[in-house]
């Protein structure tokens, strides 16, 4: 099950609207196949693992370990449970029952009816956390939000003149690109786009196709058409606005504008997150922009914080990592616990997760 969990981790950020699941097939105490949920609603983990076995006769009497109850309904794919029954598996080990109303124990009943032994046991906290992201999105319309901050040692993300390029070192930046690959989409404010003109893609070798879709807050639709975010046609770009003139790039197939009501003087974050979840996205990465970070934290929307601190110091007059919060050290907030701390050369990465 630990190996199945690792397979589920491999799928994180690329499976929406499906959950990332890992599966391991064992025959005569030997692992004969491993699988994980494939990209964008393609093969489920169990079927992906089954397909790795060329001689299907090997599957008879085998056991399959999976991090979530196999599906029993028809969606983009036929039911995984039918494949398990077809190839006469002996045992099915499940880490957690699927809380999707379309499944929710139905697969277990079907397997047991066919005399296949089913063992349900929670094997680890991390597997439960991975599944919880899916359950929250599906049943509570709540996406999982990871806030990524790259700051100086004194908690600044830019100088007074708003210059901020490459505060952290190259290793930290590689981890940041991995975070992009591990999330379905990114949420970014207009200020970060206009000031930095970033590409916001994943530039890790071999993972370029895992660049997340983009959601941009631009209430007046005023970001110029020539900016980098509009030049990549291989992913979807959504712009949230409240008013403004129609833009020429409305005609581009990968760019969509979504009108959002205002809450006070700002776009409604609650409505924005609901829209993102309704589009099937489960994991949102937020990069840059102290105001957006502060608003998300204030409203208790953030689930995880990955904070990179470089050894540099900007001092008085720099831009705080999180505006209007008085936060320079996440240990001072009561809603989060320290999960992990890592050293990347002179940089320190601290990971916090909501209690």
Q: Which residues are catalytic?
A: 46
How far is C-alpha 72 from the geometric centre of its chain's CA atoms?
A: 25
Kindly tell me the sign of the dihedral angle through the C-alpha atoms of 62, 66, 71, 77: negative
Look up residue 67 and give its DSSP letter: S
Q: Which tokens sit at 353?
A: 């997760």
Beta strands in 212-303, from DSSP E residues, in sequence order: 213-217, 237-241, 255-259, 262-263, 266-267, 283-287
Q: Which residue has 């830019």 as its token pair?
A: 158
Chain Cα centroid distance, residue 276 = 12
3-state secondary structure of 80: helix
- Give the torsion sign (CA, 205, 5, 89, 80): negative
- DSSP codes joined into one string, 104-156: TTHHHHHHHHTT-EEEE----HHHHHHHHHHHHHHHH---EEEEEEEE-TTSE
3 state SS of 295: helix
Do 223 and 190 contact (CB within 8 A), yes or no? yes
Whole-number Å distance between alpha carbons of 272 and 277: 9
> Which residues fall within 8 angstroms of residue 271, CB to CB, at 6 or more apart?
260, 261, 263
């Amino acid at each position: 099950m630990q190996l199945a969990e690792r397979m589920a981790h491999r799928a994180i950020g690329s499976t929406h609207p499906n959950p990332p699941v890992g599966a391991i097939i064992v025959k005569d105490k030997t692992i004969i196949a491993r699988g994980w949920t494939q990209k964008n609603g393609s093969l489920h983990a169990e079927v992906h693992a089954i397909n790795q076995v060329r001689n299907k006769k090997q599957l008879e009497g085998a056991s399959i370990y999976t991090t979530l109850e196999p599906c029993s309904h028809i969606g983009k794919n036929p039911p995984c449970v039918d494949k398990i029954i077809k190839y006469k598996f002996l045992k099915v080990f499940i880490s957690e029952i699927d809380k999707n109303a379309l499944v929710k124990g139905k697969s277990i009943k079907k397997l047991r009816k066919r005399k296949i032994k089913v063992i349900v046991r929670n094997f680890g906290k991390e597997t439960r956390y991975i599944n919880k992201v899916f359950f929250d999105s599906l049943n509570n319309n709540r996406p999982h939000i990871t806030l990524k901050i790259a700051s100086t040692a004194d908690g600044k993300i830019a100088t007074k003149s708003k210059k901020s390029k490459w505060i952290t070192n190259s290793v930290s930046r590689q981890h940041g690109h991995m975070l992009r690959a591990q999330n379905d989409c990114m949420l970014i404010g207009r200020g970060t786009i206009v000031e930095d003109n970033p590409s916001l893609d994943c530039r890790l070798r071999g993972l370029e196709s895992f660049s997340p879709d983009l959601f941009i807050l631009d209430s007046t639709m005023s970001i110029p058409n020539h900016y980098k975010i509009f030049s990549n046609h291989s992913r979807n770009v959504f712009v949230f606005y409240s008013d403004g003139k129609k833009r020429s790039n409305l005609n581009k197939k990968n760019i969509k504008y979504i009108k959002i009501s205002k809450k006070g003087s700002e776009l409604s974050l609650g409505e924005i997150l609901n829209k993102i979840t309704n589009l099937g996205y489960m994991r949102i990465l937020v990069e840059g922009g102290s105001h957006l970070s502060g608003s998300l934290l204030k409203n208790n929307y953030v689930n995880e914080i990955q904070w990179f601190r470089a050894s540099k110091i900007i001092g008085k007059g720099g831009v705080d990592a999180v505006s209007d919060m008085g936060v320079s050290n996440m240990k001072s907030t009561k809603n989060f616990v320290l999960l992990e701390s890592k050293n990347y050369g002179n940089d320190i990465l601290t990971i916090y997760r909501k209690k």
